[in-house]
Structures are given as structure tokens and as C-alpha cells.
Amino acid sequence: MRPNTLEPLARAGAFAPDEQESVYKAIKTRRDVRSEFLPDAVPDEVIRRLLDAAHHAPSVGFMQPWNFVVVKDDAVKTAVWEAFNRANLEAAEMFSGEQQATYRSLKLEGIRTAPLGLCVTCNPDRCGDVVLGRTHNARMDSYSTVCAIQNLWLAARAEGIGVGWVSIFREDELKHILGVPERIEIVAWLCIGYVDRFYSEPELAVKGWRQRLPLEELVFSDHWGERDPEFASSIAAAAEVPPRPGS
């Protein structure tokens, strides 16, 4: 978490220090949940709050290209899991040796165990052919939809609700199951539900798949590949600051 500070609020609109801590806490303790879902139903009022948080995401040209398919039906979730499983078996064959063994040991989805599934889509035609801000990058509508997913994910973490993003499937199969039109892009299938715990670190780090890269190695100054040694050192030093008590 951020180091403690006694500096007064000096910027218009800045949150109070404890409110800032809550935002950073949600960001740093957010997890991609795979196997810790409880069977408890998520109340509709909570689902509404999460969707409202998603709907308040920024979007290029204010096009708001997202739609949300809320799935509670077990038969639909089973069909989605079967599509995932076919793709997952193919994915496993793309790795080799010890990495393949580690991949096969991971539970990469909670499609059938999470009480709620959410398909998040992107409609590229919502604002017509020419969209403010998308004139030179056709993917900006998809990127906007990802912002909506992140908003929902952080709100869910604040509510004590786990979210798992499933990306291993063939899009045409998922469209067929859910009746999604051809022109609509499926951006994510999210598994959502209360959990028995949140890992203290990302699950893939805990289970040895990958570790978080040092931030100072990823930040350049003015030009690609150029680093400001003093700034890099300050980033590294900040990473070593222990969290505030109770955060």
C-alpha cells in the first residue's frame, strides 16, 4: 500500500488519505479467482451495483460499446464449460515439458462452480462508422470495454466478491450458445461469486507460473529503452516500503 502521509489535500477533487488507501487496496488485492467460489448466490442488488460500476467506465467517444449477458442457468454454464474444455485441451498441447505439466495442474476456470457467469461484449456499431477517438485506432471500442471489466472487477473486490476471467474458448462457439450476433465481439466471460479466500498474491505467482516483474524495469524515460536511474531507484525503493498497519 502507499506510504503514510500527513500532507494536506492540495489538489482539487483529491480523496481523503483513507479513501485513497481504499482505492489502492482494491487495486493491489484484486485477484483472478479460479477455484475458491462458494455456492452462495450473489443478490441482484449487488449484481446491479457491479454492473453500474462497469457502466461508469470511460469509453472513447463516450460510445459505451458494452453489453452484459448475466447467466445463472446451470445448463447454459455447462454448455459454456464444454466449449472452454475443448479449447483448454488444445491449449495444453501448446506447452511442453514441465510447463505443460504445470498448466494441466492449474484450474483455469470456475464456470460451473461460480454462481454467476457474465459475458461482456463490445458493439463496434453503437455510434456508427466514424467515432470520435476511434478514427485512427479501430480497437478503441474493445479497449473501452476492458475498462468496464476492470471497473466491475475492482467494485467486486470491494464487495468481497471474486471474479475470474475466462479467455480460453472459440468465440464462435460462445456466440452460438448465447445467441450473440455476428458483428458483436465477445471480450470476456467472467465467473463471479463469493469466495472462501483471496490469495495474498496472484494465484499464478503462488503456483509458480510467473512472478510479477519489477516495475522499474518496465518504465522508460522520454524514449523507448532509455531509463532515468534516479527515478528507477525511487520506484524500487517505494516497492520496499511495508504496507500501513491494518491495510
Q: CATH no. for residue 153?
A: 3.40.109.10
Residue 14 forms part of a structural domain: no
Q: Structurally, how many domains does the chain consist of?
A: 2
What is the average pLDDT across 122-133? Answer: 95
Same domain assignment for residues 217 and 203: no
Residue 5 forms part of a structural domain: no
Task: Quote the pLDDT of residue 125.
Answer: 96
Residue 164 forms part of a structural domain: yes
The answer, yes or no, to whether residue 243 has pLDDT greater than 80, is no
Residue 13 forms part of a structural domain: no
Same domain assignment for residues 148 and 231: no
**Nearest in space to 26 (alpha carbons), one of 160, 149, 141, 126:** 160
Same domain assignment for residues 46 and 155: yes
Binned at pLDDT 50, 70 and 90, residue 245 comes out as very low
Burial bucket for residue 94 (CB in 10 Å: 0-12, 13-18, 19+): exposed
Q: Is the pTM of this model over 0.85?
A: yes
Residue 46 forms part of a structural domain: yes
Q: How far, in Å, are 28, 114, 189, 213 from residue 168 at the CA level?
A: 25, 17, 9, 24
Residue 19 forms part of a structural domain: no
What is the average pLDDT across 26-36? Answer: 93
Residue 160, Ramachandran bin (φ over 0: left; ψ between -120 and 50: alpha; else beta): left
Same domain assignment for residues 115 and 223: no
Same domain assignment for residues 162 and 237: no
The answer, yes or no, to whether residue 127 has pLDDT greater than 70, is yes
Residue 222 forms part of a structural domain: yes
Same domain assignment for residues 47 and 161: yes
Task: Quote the pLDDT of residue 209.
Answer: 87
Same domain assignment for residues 66 and 151: yes
Instruction: Mention every residue, 6+ apart, whose C-beta is less than 8 A from residue 146.
Output: 187, 188
Same domain assignment for residues 48 and 70: yes
Question: Which range, of 57-66, 91-100, 177-186, 216-225, averages the lowest pLDDT?
Answer: 91-100
Task: For residue 145, count other CB atoms closer than 10 A to its CB.
Answer: 25
Same domain assignment for residues 232 and 187: no
Structural domain including 237 reads 212-242
Give the torsion through C-alpha atoms of 130, 136, 141, 144, to 10 deg.
-130
Same domain assignment for residues 99 and 130: yes
Residue 226 forms part of a structural domain: yes
Same domain assignment for residues 226 and 185: no
Same domain assignment for residues 107 and 222: no
